[in-house]
Amino acid sequence: MKHLMIIGAVCVMAACASKPLDPKARLVRLTTVEPGSECQFLGDITGNQGDFLTGEFTSNEDLETGARNDLKNQAHNMGGNVVFILTQRAGQTGSFHQEFGGSSVQTNVTLSGNVYFCPTN
């Protein structure tokens, strides 16, 4: 039983960490300025981190970093190097302890964007 509790705790801790960034995707840029005509549009993507179960136990920083990493990884896999951010949403749900005076907490972050390949100089 003790081993099951340890394994469960490790699984919860791993679920609360931000999604990893593929080293090959580290050069993908996120921007709020739409790329120019020299860039080729490749498609739309949505990146996210968190859910109703693990989100309450994941820091806001890890939720945001994980969503950005998810977006960059997807863009890289599509052959893109720039993501024009269209929307950014943070989901909130009531705390499990809300009936005892708790408040709503951020449980997930979702980013949507357009992927582009822009030639580099």
Q: For residue 59, give both structure tokens.
A: 């820091």
> What is the mean pLDDT of the segment spanning 65-92?
90
Task: Give the global pTM.
Answer: 0.72
Tokens of 116: 């582009």
Total of domains in the chain: 1
Task: Measure the CA–CA gap between 25 and 120, rounded to whole angstroms.
Answer: 15
Structural domain including 109 reads 2-117
- One-letter amino acid for residue 21 of the chain: L
At 20-72, the pLDDT tens digits run 899 999 999 999 999 999 999 999 999 987 755 564 556 767 778 888 999 99
Reading the block at residue 83, the tokens are 């993501």
Contacts of 37 (CB under 8 A, 6+ apart): none
Helix (H) or strand (E) holding 59: none
With beta carbons less than 8 A apart as the criterion, state whether 117 and 81 touch: yes
Q: In this structure, what CATH number is given to the domain that contains residue 16?
A: 3.30.110.70
Q: Tell whether the model's pLDDT for residue 119 goes beyond 70.
A: yes
The rounded percent of the chain whose pLDDT value lies above 70 is 62
